[in-house]
Structure 1
Amino acid sequence: MKICVIGGGGAIGGYLATKLARAGNQVTIVARGETLEAIQKNGLTLYMEREIQPLVARVKAVSKITDVETPDVVMLAVKAHQVEPVIDDLAKIMGPNTVLIPLQNGIPWWYFQKLSGRYQDHPVETVDAGGAIMKKINPNNILGCVVYPATYTESPGVIRHVEGNRFPLGEIDGTVSERVKVISQMMTDAGFKSPILEDIRGEIWLKLWGNMTFNPISALTHEHLEGICQYPLTNDLARNMMAEAQRLAEKLGIVFRVDIDRRIAGAEKVGKHKTSMLQDLEAGNSLEIDALLGSVIELGRITETPTPCLSTVFALTKLLNTKVQSSQGRLSLPMAA
C-alpha cells in the first residue's frame, strides 16, 4: 500500500513507518529539521524491546505534506494541538478513497460524527475550535484507531520501543467494512495487533482513562507509572479522576469492559515508564493537556456531570504548561529580591 505518515519522525509515527515499510509498503513520511535530515541520510532506526539489533527502514522523507502523492492511507501521527495547523495541506492530498487514521490520544475531533443520538455532529471545541477540522475532513474517510504501544525518540530518526504492539481499529459508524479488514490485515502483516472493533469509542475511553490521569499526574510529580500507582495518595487521585470520567462517559453510552482496579493494575505493570507528557515536559515541549483532559471536562459540561478532581488537575497542569513555555523549557523559581 501507499502510506503517508505525517509525524513519521516521532516516536509512534516512526515505529509504525519502520515496520510498515519493512513489510513491503511504500511509505512516505513528513518530518522537519534534524529529524528530516537524519531520515533522508540514514533511514529510520527502530530498537525493539529485548532485541539487540535494530530494524532499519529506508523510507521517502519530505518536509511538506503537499509534496506527497495521493496515498491509500494517511496515518496522522501528530499531537492533537498540531492537527489544525496542518489540516489544509492534509485535505489537499486526500483522495475520495484515502483512508485517514488519526492517532491522537484523547477525545478526537470526530467523536460525535456518525454517532446517532442527541449529540450527533457536535464539535469538540477543546480540540477543534469552531469545528474547523470537521469542516475540512470528510468523516467517510476516517478510520478510528487507538494507540497502545509505549515508545520514545532516542535521537533524530532513532526510535526506542518500550512495550506493546496493539492498534485496535474501528469504523466510526460501528460497521465492519471491507476497508477496515484490509487495513487490519496490513497492520497484522507488519507485526502489529489490530483487532477490528465495532465500538471504537469504548476503546478510546479505555485508553483515555489512563492517559487523562497518569499523564498529568506524572508531569506534576515527575514520577513514572509504577511510582504513581504504588504511592497511596496519587493512586487515590487517579481512582477519583477515573470515577468522574466513567460517570460522564456512561451518560454517552460507553460501557467500560474493565474496572478501575484492573486499569490501574495495567498501568503499574508497565513499570518505570515515563508518560509521553512527562517526556514532553522534560524536553520543554507543549503538553497535550487539552486533548487528554480538557476535552473530558468539556464533555462533563455537555452531559452536566461534575468533574472536580479532573478540573483541579487540569488547572494545575495548564499552569505548569504555561510556565514551561514561557521559560523555554527551564523551570525554576526566581531569586528573592
Structure 2
Amino acid sequence: MNASLLRIGIAGAGAIGCTLAARLAAGGHQVNVLARGETLAAIRRDGIRLFDLDGQHHVQVEASDNAANLGEQDLIFLCTKAQGLASLLPQLQPMIGAETVVIPVVNGVPWWYFHGEGGRYDGRRVNAVDPQSVLSQALDLRHVIGCVVFITANCPAIAVAESHTPHLMIFGEPDNRLSPRLEQVRGLVESVGIEARATDRIRDNLWTKIIANITSNPLSVITGATLEQLYSLPQLREVVSSCLHETLLTAAAHGARVSIDPQTFLELGAGMGAVRTSMLQDYDKGRPLELAAIGDAVLELADCMAIPMPITRHLIALARFRGEQARH
C-alpha cells in the first residue's frame, strides 16, 4: 500500500463510519462510501459532517449503493453492526482486490477470532456470529486486520456524526505478526488525527472492549440506565460486577491478558457519564439488538472452556426478550 495514494472504502455510514470518512477525507485521502437510501441521498447532497474535539469537519466523498461503482479499494473499513455483515460482505466483492486490506470495525467477538490464534481451537468458526459460514466463505481471512475501536459517537442527523471523547483505534494481525501492512494502517489512521496503536496481541484489546460491551449493553436494555448509573448505583453495580468477573474468567481461559483491574473498570465506566449505550439506542428505535456478537459469542467461548456464566446468560436472555417485545 502506498499511503499517499490509497483508495479507502467505508462500508456503513453510521456514527463510526461517518467519523472515519470525515477524518480520512479531511486528511486528503480518496474516500468511497457504500451507503443506501436516505443516507446515500444525504451524502450526495450535503457530504458528511463530523463534530468532535478538534472542531467541525465537512467533507465531500464518493458514495454509491453499488460496490461495483466504487471499484477496487486498497483499504476497506467495515462499519456496520455485526448482524449486518452477512448481507454486506457478499456485496463487497467488487471492492476487494488481491491485496485489499479489510478492517472490521465491529463490536463483540469477531468471526475471525480463532483464525491464526494458534491454540486448541485454531481455525474454528464462531457459530454465534457466523452460523451459516457466510462470512468465512465471503472473505478470505488473509485480507483481514483486526481492530478495536474506542470512539464514542452518535448521529444527530443522517450523515452527521458527533463525538465528545478522544478517538482511539488499536489494530492487530489475527496471527499476531507485526507486519508492514499493519504499521502502514496504523500510520495512516494516526496521520488523520486519530490515536492509533499496533499490537501483537489484538485479542487482549478485544476482550477489554468485549467486557465493556457485555457488562453494559444488555443490562442497559433491561433497565434503561445510563453508563454512569450502571457502573455506580449499588443495585446495578453488583450485577455488573458479577458479569465482569464471569467474562474476565473466560478471557483468561482463552489466554487473554486484560490490563485493567475490575475496580478501575467500574470507575472508568461510571466516569463515562449519562451515556446511553448503543444497544439501548437501538432498542429505543425498535432495531435488532447486537446480542449475537456481544453476548452469545462470549457464552460460546465460555462453553468451549466449560466455564459457567449464569448471571451473564440471564442478562442476555432478558435483553433479548425485551428487544423482541419492542419489535412486535
TM range (shorter): over 0.9
Question: Equivalents in 2 of 1:162, 1:32: separation in Å?
Answer: 27
1:24 aligned onto 2:28: yes
Give the unaligned 5+ runs of structure 1. 327-337
Report the AA paired with residue 40 of structure 1.
Answer: R
Structure 1-normalised TM-score?
Answer: 0.93
Count of aligned pairs: 323
1:113 and 1:296 map into 2 onto residues whose CA distance is 16
User: Are the equivalent residues in 2 in contact too, given 1:6–1:65 (CA < 8 A)?
Assistant: no
The answer to whether the 8 Å contact 2:232/2:266 transfers is: no
Q: 2:311 aligns with which of 309, 312, 332?
A: 309
Letter matched to residue 105 of structure 2: L
Task: Give the structure 2 partner of residue 330 of structure 1.
Answer: none
CA 1:143/1:43 → structure 2, altered by over 3 Å: closer, same or farther?
same
**CA shift digits 1:130-186 (9 cap, x unpaired):** 322112211111001101110001111111113130001111111111111111111
Instruction: Provide the residue aligned with 2:277 in structure 1.
Output: 275
Greater mean deviation of Cα atoms: 133-142 or 288-297: 133-142
Other-structure match for 1:335: none
> What residue in structure 2 maps to residue 37 of structure 1?
41
Letter in 1 for 2:29: N
Match of 1:218 in 2: 220
- Per-residue CA distance 1:7-52 (angstroms, 9 max, x = gap): 0x2000000000001101100111121111111001001111474x
Distance across 1 between alignment mates of 2:281 and 2:18: 16
CA distance in structure 1 between the partners assigned to 2:188 and 2:254 by the alignment: 32
Q: Deviations over 1:263-293 (max 9, x none)?
A: 1211111111111111111122111111101
Q: Match of 1:2? A: 7
**Whole-angstrom distance in 2 between the partners of 1:126 and 1:188:** 33
- Where do 5+ consecutive residues of structure 2 fail to align? 1-5
8 A Cα contact 2:168 2:196, kept in partner? yes
Pick from 204, 207, 212: which aligns with 1:205?
A: 207
Which residue does 1:232 correspond to in 2?
234
Root mean square deviation, CA, Å:
1.1
> 1:62 offset after TM fit, Å?
0.7
Q: TM-score, normalised by structure 2?
A: 0.96
Point out the structure with the larger strand share: 2
* Matching residue of 1:289: 291
Answer yes or no: is the 8 Å Cα contact 2:231–2:269 preserved in 1. yes
Name the % identity: 29
Of 126-135 and 104-113, deviating more is 126-135
Q: Letter of the 2:268 partner, please give it.
A: G
* Matched residue, 2:244: 242
